[in-house]
Amino acid sequence: MATVTFDHATRLYPGTERPAVDQLNLHIEDGEFLVLVGPSGCGKSTSLRMLAGLEDVNGGRILIGDRDVTDVQPKDRDIAMVFQNYALYPHMSVADNMGFALKIAGTPKAEIRQRVEEAAKILDLTEYLDRKPKALSGGQRQRVAMGRAIVRQPQVFLMDEPLSNLDAKLRVQTRTQIASLQRRLGVTTVYVTHDQTEALTMGDRIAVLNKGVLQQVGTPREMYDQPANVFVAGFIGSPAMNIGTFQVKDGAALVGNAQVPLERTVVDALTEADGGKVTVGFRPESLDVVGSGTAGSFQVEVNLVEELGSDAFVYGSLKSDVGASDLSAGDSDQVIVRIDPREVPMKGDTINVAIKPGQSHVFSAATGNRLS
């Protein structure tokens, strides 16, 4: 068991201008489950592969425990990796696949067999030990890939989108299995995914990356409640947060026809670069449906209602006398409001909504950083 530390770790691919991973500073505690998450091309896989030793480190250091492994061969780093496509050896049986690293390391056969059987028992693979990977289902192959990592009893598990090749149902099921297995084994784990739901449900802590730069690290709750900037705010949460940029007048943001009051500290923090504007975000569940004319409420025209049983979401557009706004959630270009599934408005209706007190997130219009 060990901690993992990225110390200004940088990876610059030859022939490119911008580093794929730029000055990554990250400390992962012993036994922690850390999820690296971000959109594709954000550098999360590259970071993991740098830790694995499959990718060169062009600047900074990487430590496992107190040991600097920046220039150590992959096999000597005492890590085990689960690949997205599992990377099982097609010509070996499941047992041979799982015990291969030990065989290369010269472990006695009896001990290999014992450790493989233990891992197979944990993963429910005992009856498949003599099969070839081709004769297994996707889920079983995924478990063999996990087993291969477990058998090595490494200091750190590295997982590179291990669930992305499974169907939706199996993914949810395996998600919990991996998380509980990791808690049980207590091995430090770095897990890469592009799926924020996976990140929120599995990780002890989450690190969000974008364009090679670390945006924020924190527990799932912190990431959800206190996003450090507009990117994290928009990335974490499903459905996504409604975010828009509005004029500030008399210490309040003009959202549609409503005035959303801003805290004094926020108004003071505005700079000239912001140009008298501020970016406000609020989650779909942070809105209350109120009667018309309520102070601080604005109108949303309903375009679509999505009913999920326990919840219902209104997809609509902001009605405003001051002209069009850019208020939208994620990539949808619509405002999303969570409403009581028992009082669902009709398409084309207009509803009045107000942001629940203390549940708005305010960011600088110029830098995107959190102000409130």
Partner 1 sequence: MDWLLAADSPAQKLTVMVVAIALFVAVVGLILFLVDRPKNPPRWVVALGFVGLPLAGLAFGLVYPGLVTIKNSFYNRDGSQFVGLDNYVTALTTDQFLIVLRNTAIWVLVAPVLATLIGLVYAVVVDRSRFERVAKALIFLPMAISMVGASIIWKFVYEFRPDQPGVQQTGLLNQVLVWLGIPPQQFLINQPWNTLFLVVVLIWIQSGFAMTLLSAAIKAIPDDIIEAARLDGLSGFGLFRYITVPSIRPAIVVVMTTIAITTLKVFDIVRTMTAGQFGTSIVANEFYTQSFGQNNAGLGAALAVLLFILVIPIIAYNVRQLRLAEEVR
Q: Which of 6, 33, 100, 363 binds partner 1 (CB under 8 A)?
A: 100
The closest alpha carbon to 47, from 75, 67, 66, 28, belongs to 28
Count CB atoms within 10 A of the CB of residue 92. Answer: 15
Q: How far is the CB of 111 from partner 1 (least distance, A)?
A: 16
Beta carbons of 254 and 64 less than 8 angstroms apart? no
Count CB atoms within 10 A of the CB of residue 296. Answer: 15
Q: How far is the CB of 108 from partner 1 (least distance, A)?
A: 16
Q: Which is nearer to partner 1, 129 or 240 (CB)?
A: 129
Residue 16, C-beta contacts closer than 8 angstroms, at least 6 positions apart: none
The tokens describing 157, both together, are 């598990």
The tokens describing 368, both together, are 């995107």
Q: Decide if residue 2 touches partner 1 (CB under 8 A).
A: no
Beta carbons of 50 and 35 less than 8 angstroms apart? no
| DSSP label of 357 | T
Q: Which is nearer to partner 1, 13 or 83 (CB)?
A: 83
Q: Which of 52, 200, 228, 280 binds partner 1 (CB under 8 A)?
A: 52
Q: Decide if residue 71 touches partner 1 (CB under 8 A).
A: no
**Rounded to an integer, what distance in angstroms lies between the CA atom of residue 143 and that of residue 259?**
54
Binding segment for partner 1 (CB under 8 A), chosen from 100-108, 182-190, 200-208, 235-243, is 100-108
10: exposed, middle or buried (Cβ count in 10 Å: 0-12, 13-18, 19+): middle
Binding segment for partner 1 (CB under 8 A), chosen from 37-45, 82-90, 260-268, 335-343, is 82-90
Binding segment for partner 1 (CB under 8 A), chosen from 78-86, 175-183, 199-207, 327-335, is 78-86
Q: How far is the CB of 338 from partner 1 (least distance, A)?
A: 41
Q: Which of 56, 89, 219, 307 binds partner 1 (CB under 8 A)?
A: 89
Q: Decide if residue 137 touches partner 1 (CB under 8 A).
A: no
Q: How far is the CB of 51 from partner 1 (least distance, A)?
A: 11
Partner residues linked to 345 by β-bridges: none
Binding segment for partner 1 (CB under 8 A), chosen from 68-76, 123-131, 233-241, 358-366, is 68-76
The tokens describing 184, both together, are 């049980």
Angle at 64 between CA 60 and CA 69, to 5 degrees: 55
The tokens describing 309, both together, are 């049983």
Per rule CB under 8 A, count of chain residues that contact partner 1: 25
Q: Which is nearer to partner 1, 134 or 342 (CB)?
A: 134
Q: Decide if residue 12 touches partner 1 (CB under 8 A).
A: no
Angle at 174 between CA 168 and CA 180, to 5 degrees: 145
Task: Return the SS3 of 343.
Answer: coil
Binding segment for partner 1 (CB under 8 A), chosen from 28-36, 80-88, 246-254, 284-292, is 80-88
Q: Which of 80, 166, 241, 300 binds partner 1 (CB under 8 A)?
A: 80
Task: Return the SS3 of 99.
Answer: helix
Q: What residue type is 264 in one-letter code? A: R
Q: Decide if residue 54 touches partner 1 (CB under 8 A).
A: yes
140-179 mask for partner 1 (x: CB under 8 A)? --------x-------------------------------
Beta carbons of 203 and 195 less than 8 angstroms apart? no
Q: Decide if residue 104 touches partner 1 (CB under 8 A).
A: yes
Q: Which positions touch partner 1 (CB under 8 A)?
A: 52-54, 73-75, 79-81, 83-85, 87-92, 100-101, 104-105, 132, 134, 148
